[in-house]
Each structure stands twice: as structure tokens, then as C-alpha cells.
Amino acid sequence: MNKKYYGVLWGCLAVVVIAGGIYYFVGRENPSLSSVPQQTQQSAHQVIVNQTPALEQAVVQREQSSFPQTQQTNETAAVTAQTEQPLSEEVISKEQVQEDTTQQDTAPQTEQAGIFESEPLFAMPLAGNIVMDYSVDHTIYDATLDQYRTNDHISIGAKKGDSVKASEDGTVESITTDDERGVTVVLNHGNGWQTTYSQLQENVVVKQGDTVKKGQEIGFVADPTKYSVALGEHVDFSIVKDGSTVDPKSAVTE
């Protein structure tokens, strides 16, 4: 009985082995037997292939969507450039107008300054040597007083009776007399300018308020006062600008 059992068992195994071998070789020769796996693989491959055009289309759509933005940016830049160009021309035009207006405004002022603010062309009131000089920064020797002092005018040596003339056009502001300077005539030349003529005779040929011309006679040299007798006969001459004395030698041009 055991021999029969084992004989049947080996027979079954042989049938299984033979059947498997037949199925294997037949399956390789007949592709239809492996259709299911091939379909599955083909389906998976088909999904990838179908996704590729969609990806490319998405890239194309993205590029197309960005192109109008670039074009719009270029158009905006062009419009901005066109807008800025007239603005720059307008700014230049306004600056030019302002410059022209400024030049027009300053031209009359310059001309007016030349008429009313030019420095007077002073001349010496008479010819002669300076016997005592102008000095306000340091003291100089005064022979009459025998001392050192400052001096705000010049003393021009002359002869008694010599004609004293106006140094520049002006108006007689005052005629005064004192012990130190004798008879003094003050002329006002406008714009803060004044000239003073001292050590004159009493018979001056002008009166207060008279208008005089440059070189016009205003008086005559007198004897010196006791405060300047050591200088001999002379005329004290001073120039004042806005209340401050000026060295006549630096202001006289003739």
C-alpha cells in the first residue's frame, strides 16, 4: 500500500512539473498570455505621455501670460519717457524764463547803481603840499601843539587869498566858524559823501543851500588859527563817507 501511495504522489508531482513547464514555454511563445501586465505597463506609460503635452502647454501659457506684461511694461516705459521729455523741456523753459526775467530785473538796477551809487570823482580844493597828513590809526606829531595826536584831515599849504574850490558837485550844507578851524564850509555830495573846507576867510562866496559845481570857487585861504599856526597858511580838507572820515589822498582822483 505504501508503494502505491508514493507512486501516486510522485505521479502528481510529475504532472504539476510538466504542466508548469508547458505553461511557461507556451506563455513565452504566445504574447496574449501576458496581456494584462503589458496593458498595465502600457497604461502607466500612457499617463506619462499624456501629461507631457499638458506640461509643455502650461509652460507656453505661462510664457504667453508673461509676454503681455513685458509688452505692457515696455509700453508704460515708452509713455513715461514721452511724458518726461516734455516735462524736462518745460522745466528748462521755466528756468530760462526765470533767468531772462532775472537779467531783465538786474539790468535796470545795474544801470541805476551806475548813476546813483558811483563813487564821486573828488579833486583837491587847491594845489599845494601837504603840511600835515591824515592819520587816524596812529598818532603823528603836531608842531603847533608840540604833541602827538591823530588827525582826521589833511592840511594843504597855500598862500593867503588863494582860491578854494569845490572838490565835487554838491550842495552847501553848512557854514560855521570856531576857534580851532576858523571858517568852515561843508558840502553834501549825496549818497553819504561830504567834504569839509576849513581855515577860510569870512567872505565866502557861497551860502547855505547853494548848489555848486566841481571846481567852483567857494572861498579864500585865511590866516591860520592859533591851533595850527606852526603849519603856516593852509586849508584843512576832509572827506567823510556815511559819518566816517576817509583819507582824502585815496579818494581824490584828480
Which backbone phi and psi does 44 adopt, to 5 degrees?
Answer: -65, -40
Domain co-membership, 142 together with 176: yes
Other Cβ atoms within 10 Å of 99 Cβ, number? 10
Please indicate, yes or no, if residue 124 is contained in any of the structural domains.
no
Report which of residues 249 and 6 the model is more confident about.
249
Task: State whether 2 and 101 are in the same domain.
Answer: yes
Q: Among 118, 147, 180, identify where a domain stops.
A: 118
Per the structure, the count of domains in the chain is: 2
Percent of the chain with pLDDT over 90: 52
Is 16 domain-assigned? yes
CA 154 to CA 134: how far, in whole Å? 5
Higher pLDDT, 28 or 8: 8
Do 213 and 241 fall into the same domain?
yes
Beta strands in 55-178 (DSSP E): 130-132, 135-142, 147-151, 154-157, 163-165, 170-178
Judgement on whether residues 36 and 60 belong to the same structural domain of the protein: yes
pLDDT value at position 116?
A: 32
The single-letter code of the amino acid at 20 is: G
- Which of 59, 89, 118 lies at the terminal end of a domain, its last residue? 118
Pairing of the two strands 211-212 and 193-200: unpaired
Whether 115 has a pLDDT exceeding 50, the answer reads: no
pLDDT confidence tier of residue 191, bands split at 50, 70 and 90 = very high
The verdict on 198 and 160 lying in the same domain is yes
Question: Do strands 234-241 and 193-200 pair parallel, antiparallel, or not at all (unpaired)?
Answer: antiparallel
Which of 69, 85, 118 represents a domain boundary (last residue)?
A: 118
For residue range 133-173, what is the model confidence (pLDDT) as tens digits? 999 999 999 999 999 999 999 999 999 999 999 999 999 99
Residue 225's CATH number: 2.70.70.10
Range of the domain at 141: 130-251
167 and 219 belong to one structural domain: yes
Mean pLDDT over 182-210 rounds to 97
pTM of whole model > 0.75?
no
Q: Are strands 147-151 and 244-246 parallel, antiparallel or unpaired?
A: unpaired
Looking at the structure, tell me whether residues 3 and 106 fall in a common domain. yes
Q: What's the mean per-residue pLDDT of the chain?
A: 76
**In this model, does residue 114 exceed pLDDT 50?**
no
For 198-215, write each residue's pLDDT tens digit.
Answer: 999 999 999 999 999 999
Per the domain annotation, does 146 fall within a domain? yes
191 located within any domain: yes
Counting other chains too, the contacts that 21-26 makes at CB distance below 8 Å and 24 or more residues apart are none
Q: Are 243 and 195 in contact (CB under 8 A)?
A: no
- Residue 150 to residues 83, 87, 141: CA-CA distances in angstroms? 73, 67, 9
The pLDDT, as a whole number, for residue 61 is 62
220 occurs within a structural domain: yes
Indicate if 113 and 135 belong to the same structural domain.
no
DSSP state of 144: T
Chain centroid, CA 84 distance in Å: 25
Task: Retrieve residue 113's grid coordinates.
Answer: 547803481
Mean pLDDT of 179-189: 97
Once rounded to an integer, what is the mean pLDDT over residues 24-44?
49
Q: Are residues 108 and 137 located together in one domain of the fold? A: no
Residues 94 and 135 in one domain: no
In a domain, 125, yes or no: no
Judgement on whether residues 153 and 54 belong to the same structural domain of the protein: no
Residues above pLDDT 70, as percent of the chain: 56
Look at residue 120 and tell me whether its pLDDT is greater than 90: no
Which pLDDT score, from 0 to 100, does residue 25 have? 60
Q: What is the pLDDT of residues 66-90, one digit of tens each?
A: 544 545 555 555 545 554 554 444 4
Alpha carbons 175 and 169: distance in angstroms, whole number: 17
Distance CA 231, CA 249 (A): 19
In a domain, 141, yes or no: yes
Please check whether residues 171 and 58 belong to one and the same domain. Answer: no
Residue 123: inside a domain: no
State the pLDDT at residue 78.
53
From the number of C-beta atoms within 10 Å of its C-beta (0-12, 13-18, 19+), residue 200 rates as buried
